[in-house]
Amino acid sequence: MNVKTLNFRPILYLLFTVIGGSQSKELARKIASKLDCKYVDSKITIFPDGESKITLPETLTGTVVVVQTTYPHADTNMMRALALIAKAKKTASRVIAVIPYLCYMRQDMEFLPGEIVTSKMVAKLLGATGAAKIITVDIHSNLAVNYFDVPLVNTSAIPKMAGYFRKLDLKCPMIISPDLFWSKKAKQFAEMLGAEQIALNKQRDRKTGKLKILHQKNLDLSGRDVVLIDDMISTGNSMILAARYAKSCYCRRIFAVCTHPLLVDNAEKRLMDADIDKIISSNTIEHKTNQVDVSDIIAQSIE
């Protein structure tokens, strides 16, 4: 459904109500604007022990769209998303959960003995709470998609990211995925720009978390702009390692690009200290690095 071409906006207004969760109010308002439907703000009170008390100002009917990203702290914001879904489900005919950044998707298998596959638990909770459909952006794990009992739409910010970079004056750009994991998406991004692409071979010690990049033979980045792209930047360690590697190959400028700007543990400053010229992200998580708006691609997935 392309909401921009719809000619029955008054009917859409009656069909949809968009609720803005605590971490996604601005994005929720933009989605409501794209759908030309009603926006309802959720109210939140935090008790001294950290519990969240969430209130909706009115009874909601029809199809309700709950928009709540699970930016750190992930546990708190996932609980708030579940509470909003459960409350809306009591009176709405259908609830669509929009969780732009869906947490716990990295925990999609038992990597070491005794580890809990938490992504499977999150998938079950969202369905059991009342979500009839879940929309997310650039989910971290394709394996985790199989854990959902309700339809899950995994949209992507990649086309919007490519549109942003097409407007920049890049010099012989090289698109680099900091590891092999997101190399397919990096290749898609590069093809949209008509640029070259490589994936660095990053290795992580599962016990210590220490990262290293294996040497790439015959990589000449002299005078070229480098775009480092990944689904998320959390601590920034992978990006920093990749940036230092690119600098050692005498590149020109370095851009760090991601869909989800978690940027924890002073990551933004550490990235800039690693000679990264600019950090660009989508607005799945509200941050000053937001340059790409995904409200339209989310709105197009709501039906």
Mean pLDDT along residues 105-109: 95
Output the pLDDT for position 14. Answer: 55
DSSP per-residue letters across 5-56: G-S-HHHHHHHEEEEEPTT-HHHHHHHHHHHT-EEEE-EEEE-TTS-EEEE-
Which domains are delineated in the chain? Answer: 16-155 (3.40.50.2020), 158-293 (3.40.50.2020)
Q: How far apart are CA 31 and CA 29, in angstroms?
A: 5
The answer to whether residue 185 is catalytic is no
Cβ contact 206:111 at 8 Å? yes
Q: Is the pLDDT of residue 13 over 70?
A: no
Q: Is the pLDDT of residue 32 over 50?
A: yes
Q: Is the pLDDT of residue 2 over 60?
A: no
290 falls in which pLDDT band (50, 70, 90)?
Answer: very high
Strands 174-177 and 196-199: parallel
Sheet strands side by side (includes 290-292):
196-199, 174-177, 226-233, 254-261, 278-282, 290-292
Output the pLDDT for position 213. Answer: 76
Three-state SS at 64: strand
Cis peptide before 215 (omega within 30 of 0): no
Q: Is the pLDDT of residue 12 over 60?
A: no
Output the pLDDT for position 142. Answer: 92
Rounded alpha-carbon distances, angstroms, from residue 297 to 10, 154, 267: 21, 10, 28
Output the pLDDT for position 210. Answer: 75
Mean pLDDT along residues 225-235: 97
Q: Which of 194, 278, 190 is nearest to 233 (CA)?
A: 278
Mean pLDDT over each residue of the chain, to the nearest integer: 92
Q: Tell me which of 43, 202, 207, 210 is the catalytic residue.
A: 202
CA-based R_g, the chain, Å? 20
Q: pLDDT digits over 65-78, tens only? A: 999 999 989 999 99
Output the pLDDT for position 4. Answer: 47
